[in-house]
Amino acid sequence: MRTKRGRSVAFAAVVAAGLALVVSACGGGGGGGSSNATTSSTSGKTFPVLKVVNGTTDYLDPGLSYRLESWQLFQDTYLGLVVKARVSCQTDDCTKILPGLATTIGTVTDGGKDYKFTLRKGLKYSDGTPIKASDFKATIIRDFVLNSPGIGFFSNIVGVDACEANPTKCSNISGIVTDDGTGTIEIKLKQPASDFLFVLSIPFTSVVPSSTPQKDTESPPPPANGPYYFASYAPSKSLVMKRNPYWKKGEIAGIPDGNPDKITMLLTDDQAQSAQLVASGQYMYDANILPTDQLKHYKDKYSSQIKFYTTPSTYYFFMNWRLPPFNNLKARQAVNYAIDRQQLVNLRGGLGVPTWNFLPPSYPQYKKITPTPYPYDLNKAKQLVQQSGTAGQKVTVYTISDVAVDLSTGEYLQGQLNKIGYKATLKPLAGANYFTVVGNQSTKAQIGFTDWFEDYPYPTDWFNILQNGNDIHQVHNNNYGNVDNGAANKAMAHLAHLPPSQALAASTNAAWAKIDRDLVVQQASTAPYLNGILTSFFSSKMDVSCDIFDDNNDDLAQMCMK
């Protein structure tokens, strides 16, 4: 998923300014789990209101949003048949999959191609509507009608071909069979998929009522099925979450009932403003990253109120393979030589570790590419631009305008491109719509800033979504560079459809590592430059020891006061 915050995984201990990091134990491994999850030690510490400052997001509709800012909220409002464990990656296995709306994590048969679930009895949405098995099928169909950025996750379901060919006309998926009388849901796959339980844990599969309009629904957002619901939402301004009146205490093991009775949230991308609001005590938690130019000040004055986390992510520049000059391999290689990765880390106040790999270091499939494939070398970059025959071409650099460090990153790239022989201009866009715009083929974005934060801890979530030539879309396209390499496409398809028993075999991990190396070294498919580090800032009123940070988020429901 995308975010403006900048969370990423890195187990490396190299961090500028001597930051005291809390390193995440997330990443790698398959799903599994049972329903006997232990109750969090933060439970039972209720209080009236949690006041949060967070960044703006793209949508507050679970069928459309692909941003961390929304997903952080969805984990407490929209549940799927299964869920990721709501535990801290520092102390527990946050890759574990647990039952959500279903009674178990499912029965898998037919060599990994048939999944059966049964809904828990008596569940209701926040508007009092009973949750039905058929709602799951309607949810997936709705995703297609919305042309959701998540529809690529469902391409392996039997009977989905017509929906993929014409998403907005999708009306049925034969491979999803439901029975409201028995509460059963059966999902038939074309081929085995070792990551499918992970797919079922992400918000695109979060069940919403069958009656939910098949269009962007944010005023208000769809009724919730988790412990909280959205009581109000003013896009890019504010939102309020309240307790779901139909949620029963302890209803689903492993899902916190929540400590705050109400969560009020100011939405702003002004990092200096959000930090000051928490420092002054007006707000209680800052979900934005601390401003990099003031990081030392906050660390010195509020060290006990700040946590530093690493999460699974990679920051990189996309380069459009379909458009000049980056349809030329040497031009893409030139960009990789032209960027000083340590300087890009410095722009983020040291909140990152330089990388040349696409996969984050915590994955068992990660193998550091050595020797360094693209050491910083402006002369080499200039030579490659000349050899490519693209010198002097106009290039538009896309970046986010309302997050200072992202704007600085785009300005840096623009400057480097000008140095190596291009005529580069900057196209800053508001963060709330940035990824939607660059993900639309009609924009014809040549090159720009982007990042990726795992949806789930397996390489399919990286390569098959972001660099697979068979998963390119006209709108809501996540493969911004339209990366399309036949050999890599074939290897990804093979690995994605291995049976679960082979998913983490040494040979499988090595094959994923080879894809990573080949795309970076042979194809210069993207320009990865850092694995980032994120801050979480709490007011003096909050008990920081209650903070539960999973693979990507602080869990608002489990926060508590002193």
* Model pLDDT, residue 25: 31
Q: Record the tokens describing residue 416, joined without a space.
A: 């480097």
Sign for the pseudo-dihedral over CA of 325, 329, 333, 334: negative
- Tell me, what amino acid is at 265? M
What is the spatial distance between Cα 228 and Cα 73, in angstroms, rounded to a whole number?
9
Segment 171-178 mean pLDDT: 98
pLDDT score of 38 more than 70:
no
At position 25, the amino acid (one-letter code) is A
Provide the pLDDT confidence category of residue 361 given band limits of 50, 70 and 90: confident
pLDDT in tens, 420-451: 999 999 999 998 889 999 999 999 999 999 99
Q: Judge whether residue 114 has pLDDT over 90.
A: yes
DSSP 8-state symbol, 426: E
**Residue 41's pLDDT is what?**
59
Q: Per DSSP, which regions of 56-182 are E strands?
A: 82-84, 97-99, 107-109, 114-118, 176-179
Asked whether the predicted pLDDT for residue 24 surpasses 90, the reply is no
Residues 6+ apart with CB under 8 A from 437: 398, 429, 443, 445
Domains (range + CATH), the chain:
57-265 (3.40.190.10), 313-532 (3.10.105.10)
Give per-residue pLDDT as tens, 388-424.
999 999 999 999 998 888 999 999 999 999 999 999 9
Helix (H, G, I), strand (E, B) or coil at 324: coil
Lowest mean pLDDT of 13-27, 75-89, 153-167, name the range. Answer: 13-27
Q: Buried b vs exposed e over 107-130: b needs ≥16 C-beta within 10 Å?
A: ebeeebbbbbbbbeeebbbbeeee
Which whole number is the average pLDDT over 342-367?
A: 92
Query: pLDDT, tens digit, for every residue of 299-325?
Result: 999 999 999 887 788 999 999 999 999
Give percent above pLDDT 90 in the chain.
77
